Amino acid sequence: MEVAARATAADVGAAPLVARAPRYDFYQLVELLMRAQGCRPEDEGKAPLQVAGVRFKSSASLGFPGTDVVALHACPREGHVVEVSFLGLHGAQSPLPGYYLEQLGHASAHGEGAAVDLLDFFHHRLLTLLHLTWRKYRHYVRYEDGARDGFSKALFALTGLADEDLRADSAINWGKMLAYVGLVAGRSRSSEVVSGVLAHYFDLEEVEVLPWQERWVAVPGDQRSRCGTACMGLGRDFVIGERVVDITGKFLVRIGRLTRQRMADFLPDGRDGAALQAVVDFLLRDPLAYDLELELLPDQVQPLRLSARHPERLGWTSFLDPTTDAMRRHRRVRLQIRE
């Protein structure tokens, strides 16, 4: 449901802020007031402070200001009025002559005249621009869950992911991927980049990306050697058989020091299995083939037991006799993710 353009009464959720307003920083107080009203400053075409029912005024007092925020007033018509001690045309910080400031201070203290209210009309706009300027380049302030804020969308656009529907169809947590926009926006994706992103994204201690893995590649029919007809030049295009060994198109992602539960999470049907494959596919420039190797901690290798509570996976998490030295050395499973 849409928020009213102007609050008709002070929000009860902001009541604790009224009593403790001078203890808050100016920017922090404004952010808390908008949050209490459920206001999204990132909404385009809207005035967030007007939607949140927040107005600004400058204190006309000539005394030395002890804090940036003098007071927070709850008003039935205007919502909340934040009285500040800086950037005003009246008060102790004003550049106007002293006799002007004394008249304005006296009028404000006794509720006389409209000069102070007229100047506050300009103060409100000036302080509103100050707040919007302050938060514009502070991503930690603007950030919203799911990276729905405008600054996050601009960062995603650098990597070709400006479409929200495209991101929503992926198993990747895009809020985490924001930290790697600078890496993935570049032209090169080295093994160090891939392993570093995987380690940080999934909070892993040991991740390696090993290139030059062997695989068998089928030779296309028009490139196979045929006696007397095609591909019979020795040392040029002669090939024996229908497939050859290739080490240029495949790599290995090795994840070590895993507990049994964490290892189960990275299996193809595990909790993080789809996300792991999606992150690797996103980081690759070319659709290379790769395998995934998961290695258990030495104390996590257990003998095979038939149990309904902790079912074993044949070929994945089952070990016949983990007490042998050979089994302790080979406490890993290798999965073929893409051929």
Q: E strands of the chain, at which residues?
A: 54-58, 69-75, 79-84, 206-210, 215-218, 243-246, 250-258, 289-296, 332-338
Number of helical H runs and strand E runs in the chain: 14, 9
The more confident residue out of 27 and 184 is 27
Q: Would you kindly state where each structural domain of the chain is located, as residue ranges?
A: 12-142, 143-186, 199-338
User: pLDDT per residue over 200-251, tens digit each?
Assistant: 999 999 999 999 999 999 888 777 777 767 767 776 777 778 888 999 999 9
User: pLDDT per residue over 121-140, tens digit each?
Assistant: 999 999 999 998 999 889 98
Query: What are the tokens at 247?
Result: 């080490």
User: pLDDT per residue over 18-58, tens digit each?
Assistant: 889 999 999 999 999 888 887 776 665 556 677 668 899 99
Other beta carbons within 10 angstroms of residue 191's beta carbon come to: 14
pLDDT class for 5, splitting at 50, 70, 90?
Answer: very low
Among 30-44, 103-117, 188-202, the range scoring the smallest mean pLDDT is 30-44
- pLDDT > 90: percent of the chain: 36
pLDDT exceeds cutoff 70 at 142: yes
Q: What is the β-pairing status of strands 250-258 and 243-246?
A: unpaired
In this prediction, residue 11 carries a pLDDT of 52
The more confident residue out of 310 and 288 is 288
Of 148, 145, 127, 195, the C-alpha closest to 44 is: 148
For residues 115 and 104, the answer to whether their CB atoms sit within 8 Å is yes
Whole-prediction pTM value?
A: 0.72
